[in-house]
């Protein structure tokens, strides 16, 4: 068990530490809270259900640890600290969005080449289905149906945790 915990610490330390730096804007506090986060993780490891990536779960613990620290010390929230908390919501949303995007792109890579091209042209280039059909020498309807089916497959896999 000790070895597993050390591997988790080594794998996720930088992620949690950088996340806390974004929240606290202070390296010393971030370091202290990172240690506290991993301590709480050890106590709560049995509550991890696998509904999200482990790193997202850890960052949620880190965020709550930061909030606990603010409440515990009853720090005065000056303008900058209030701004940090507001910004934190955006940072967390961005982090989760990036994690989800990574999962989606990994799933897209499992599709056949034509389907991948449709997905990338639609998502990254924001092309219309007509434009995609023209580029790939197919109909607009073919591009629309291919995209829809692939999108449903990605959603289905996410629902079942695949």
pLDDT for the residue numbered 32: 92
Same-domain check for residues 131 and 100: no
Most confident of 72-76, 116-120, 146-150: 146-150
Q: Are residues 5 and 62 in the same domain?
A: yes
SS3 52: coil
On whether both 131 and 150 belong to a single domain, the answer is yes
Q: CA-CA distances (angstroms) from residue 54 to 12, 16, 61, 70, 149? A: 9, 11, 11, 25, 29
Do 12 and 57 share a domain, yes or no? yes
Total-model pTM: 0.47
Query: Domain range holding 131?
Result: 111-162
Q: How many CB atoms within 10 Å of residue 65?
A: 23
pLDDT of residue 147: 92
d(CA 116, CA 110): 8
Structure tokens at 60: 């949620």
Closest CA to 66 of 24, 96, 15, 94: 24
Which of 108, 129, 149 finishes a domain? 108
Q: 85 and 58 in one domain?
A: yes
According to the model, what pLDDT value does residue 149 have? 92
- The DSSP call for residue 46 is G
Cβ–Cβ under 8 Å, residues 17 and 34:
yes
Please say which residue of 108, 124, 149 terminates a domain.
Answer: 108
pLDDT digits (tens, 9 = 90+) for 47-66: 888 777 888 888 889 888 98
Q: Half-sphere exposure of residue 49, counting CA atoms within 13 Å on the CB side?
A: 2
Whether 82 and 133 map to the same domain: the answer is: no
Token pair listed for 69: 């620290």
pLDDT-derived band at 160, boundaries 50, 70, 90:
very low
Tens digits of residue pLDDT in 88-129: 556 666 666 677 777 887 888 889 989 988 988 888 777 889
Q: What is the pLDDT of residues 10-39, one digit of tens each?
A: 898 988 888 888 777 788 888 999 999 999
Q: Does residue 78 have a pLDDT over 60?
A: no
With beta carbons less than 8 A apart as the criterion, state whether 16 and 34 touch: yes
Q: Are 12 and 55 in contact (CB under 8 A)?
A: yes
Q: Name the domain count of the chain.
A: 2
Eight-class DSSP state of 110:
T
In this predicted structure, the answer to whether residue 131 has a pLDDT above a threshold of 60 is yes
More confident site: 86 or 65: 65
């Amino acid at each position: 068990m000790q070895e597993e915990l050390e591997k988790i610490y080594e794998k996720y330390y930088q992620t949690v530490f950088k996340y806390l730096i974004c929240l606290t804007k202070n390296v010393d506090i971030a370091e202290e809270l990172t240690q506290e986060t991993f301590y709480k993780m050890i106590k709560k490891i049995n509550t991890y259900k696998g509904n999200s990536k482990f790193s997202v779960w850890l960052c949620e613990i880190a965020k709550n640890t930061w909030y606990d620290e603010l409440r515990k010390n009853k720090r005065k929230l000056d303008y900058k600290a209030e701004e940090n908390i507001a910004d934190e919501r955006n940072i967390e949303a961005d982090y989760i969005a990036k994690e989800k995007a990574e999962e989606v792109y990994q799933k897209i890579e499992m599709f056949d080449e034509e389907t991948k091209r449709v997905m990338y042209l639609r998502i990254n280039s924001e092309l219309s289905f007509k434009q995609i059909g023209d580029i790939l020498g197919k109909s607009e309807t073919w591009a629309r149906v291919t995209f829809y089916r692939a999108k449903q497959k990605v959603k289905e896999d996410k629902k079942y945790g695949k």
